[in-house]
Amino acid sequence: KKILAIDADPAVGLSVALGVDVKLTLDDIRQSIVDSVENGDTKEALELLSEARFRMFDALVEMPGFAFLAIGRPESSGCYCKVNSYLKEVIGILANSFDYVVIDGEAGIEQIQRRVMEKVTHLLLITDQSKKGAQVITTIKQVADELISYEKIGCIINRVTNPELVELTDSPVEILSAIPADDTFAANDIKGRSVMELPADSVMLKGVQEALRKIEIL
C-alpha cells in the first residue's frame, strides 16, 4: 500500500519521529508564490495552481515504505486565502495518488477551526492522563462535529502512569488504547532514532496497534 504522511504541525515533530530530513515545506512554496505576487508578478489562477503542483513534488520526500510532506506554517504571513486554497487543492490532488493519507495535526483545535482537515475517515485524538486533556478532547470533538466530516473517532491516552485511573477518564469518545510511558521510545528519541526502529515488543508500538485494530484501520 502507498502511504503519504503529512506533517501539519508547525513544529514538524512527525518528521523527527519518522527520521525524515525536511528541506522544503509547503509553506516555503506558498511564500515564494506570495513573494512573486507582491513583487508584481501576477499570475492567473491556473498558472498558480500549476506551479504549486509542480513544486509540490520537490517538497515530497520518498522514504522506505512511505512518502512524507511537511506543511510548515501555512498562515505565517498575511492573509492570502486564494493562494492557500490553491495549495489545499493541490494537496487533495496529491493525496489521491496514495492508498492511505495520515495527517499529524497541530495540538488543540485551531486547525480544525481553520478546516485544514475538512474530511477524514478516521479521527484519532491523542491526550494525556489529565483532566485538562479530557476537556480538550471534549472541545475538539464538539468543534469537529460542527466543522469537519469523519466516519470514525477515537482517543488514545498517552504516557499513562496509573492504568487503574483510565476508567475514570471523562472522555466523550471511545478510549482505544492507554499507553504507558515507553522507556525504549524515550531512549530512541534522545538518540535521534525513528519510531521505525522500535522493537516489536515496544509498549508504544503495541498500544498503537491496539488502537488501530479497534478503530478498524488494521
Amino acid at 162: N
CA atoms of 30 and 157, how far apart (whole Å): 35
The pLDDT, as a whole number, for residue 164 is 79
Domain ranges of the chain: 1-106
- pTM here? 0.86
Q: Who wins on pLDDT, 189 or 38? A: 189
- Give the Å distances, CA to CA, from 29 to 47, 93, 106, 176: 14, 16, 20, 37
Q: Who wins on pLDDT, 23 or 32? A: 23
Mean pLDDT is lowest, of 22-31, 148-157, 179-188, for: 22-31
Q: Who wins on pLDDT, 49 or 16? A: 16
Q: How many residues does the chain have?
A: 218
Grid cell in block for residue 43: 499570475
Average pLDDT over residues 139-168: 90
Q: Strand pairing of 3-7 and 61-63?
A: unpaired
The model's pLDDT over 63-101, given as tens digits with 9 standing for 90+, comes to 999 999 998 875 555 555 655 666 677 778 888 899 999
Whether the Cβ atoms of residue 151 and residue 123 lie closer than 8 Å to each other:
no
CA 163, chain centre distance (Å):
27
Mean pLDDT is lowest, of 40-54, 73-87, 94-108, 125-139, for: 73-87
- Give the Å distances, CA to CA, from 31 to 25, 77, 87, 95: 10, 8, 11, 22
Q: Which CATH number fits domain 1-106: 3.40.50.300, 3.30.230.10, 3.50.50.60, 4.10.520.10?
A: 3.40.50.300
Spatial neighbors of 126 by CB under 8 A, at least 6 apart, are 155, 156, 158
Average pLDDT over residues 174-180: 95
